Chains A and B, each alone.
Chain A
Amino acid sequence: SQQGEEDPQALSIQEGENATMNCSYKTSINNLQWYRQNSGRGLVHLILIRSNEREKHSGRLRVTLDTSKKSSSLLITASRAADTASYFCATLNSGTYKYIFGTGTRLKVLA
């Protein structure tokens, strides 16, 4: 399977702490995106990082990309209860031009 993998599968932290999720993929990519999904609803686009970028910030989010290791990380700083959701990475395969989704991380932020 070409599906990417994320770890941890589940993460439980206290409000105010930082949350780090990792994504590994297998193929050559054009870009990588991170999404949030609240309780089985639609996916919300968080941030896109291109293959020639190494780090990107958006508010409390920080994303890194290491194409040599085929991995990315999403850091959420000063987490809030409202950040409780599943987070998915998706890589744009440079051969097929289709997005492949990771297995997801379920984040629970305790108030």
Chain B
Amino acid sequence: DAGVTQSPTHLIKTRGQQVTLRCSPKSGHDTVSWYQQALGQGPQFIFQYYEEEERQRGNFPDRFSGHQFPNYSSELNVNALLLGDSALYLCASSSRGGNQPQHFGDGTRLSIL
């Protein structure tokens, strides 16, 4: 039974570019949440998708956007990249509209030069 899978594993971009990160939820899960984890910090909630809609957003600017597909997979898009966007981006999945527990993937390490 595959867990949460994320791609790519690592990504290097330059300031001003745009990036798309992808997530496939654990089998049986229908809800995807995205978190940003800066080095040495705990994950910070970006937003959550359920039934192909954004349910709630954390304290992140509109440069961060997402999408959920009918098969429950999800994308995180970040536009106009800043140096401060360098972080590990984590995807977590859960079932029945977000009920716990949430299961995390291994993340995408994004480096901005």
A and B associate in one complex? no
